[in-house]
Amino acid sequence: MKETIASFIIDSYAHDPDLMKVIIVEVTRAANTFGRTHLADIREAYELIASIVERAQEAGLFREEIDPSFAALAFYGLIEQVLTSWIFEPQPIEEAQFDQAKALIVETICRGLEL
């Protein structure tokens, strides 16, 4: 369950790496074009991730002193950096690396948030 969002993004890269390259390298970095056009969608995605963190905080699973919005940015930033490193990797990414990345991304973020 914890890996749902990370899995979706990583699986999207596995399915169509060329499209994800465009999204990561060109689109998200072009704040003047894509960012302005899709700012509401981008904010909604961050808010959804933040709401997951909030619910976990309310349930006593995550530390309350970490702002959910900051946690959402950190989560997405970690995923983006992993994908960026793959974009510049000369060798194709293997299936095991996708699975490992999903688990490590969630583990890294959740360990930092857990009580």
| Res 40: pLDDT | 80
Structurally, how many domains does the chain consist of?
1
| Res 32: pLDDT | 61
Among 56, 59, 58, 60, smallest CA distance to 109 is for 56
Name residues whose C-beta falls within 8 Å of residue 82's C-beta, 6 or more positions apart in sequence. Answer: 10, 101, 105
Q: How many CB atoms lie within 10 A of CB 27?
A: 17
pTM above 0.75?
yes
Give the CATH number, domain containing residue 88.
Answer: 1.10.357
Q: Give the HSE-up count for residue 14: Cα atoms under 13 Å, Cβ half-sphere.
A: 15
Among 92, 93, 108, smallest CA distance to 6 is for 108
Name residues whose C-beta falls within 8 Å of residue 1's C-beta, 6 or more positions apart in sequence. Answer: none
Question: Averaged in consecutive runs of 10 residues, what is the pLDDT profile of the chain (115 residues)?
Answer: 83 90 71 66 88 95 95 92 91 93 92 86
Q: Which amino acid is at 26?
A: E
Tokens of residue 105, six digits: 């991304």
Domain of 104?
4-113
Q: What percent of the chain has pLDDT over 70?
A: 88
Q: Which amino acid is at 39?
A: L
Beta bridge partners of 101: none
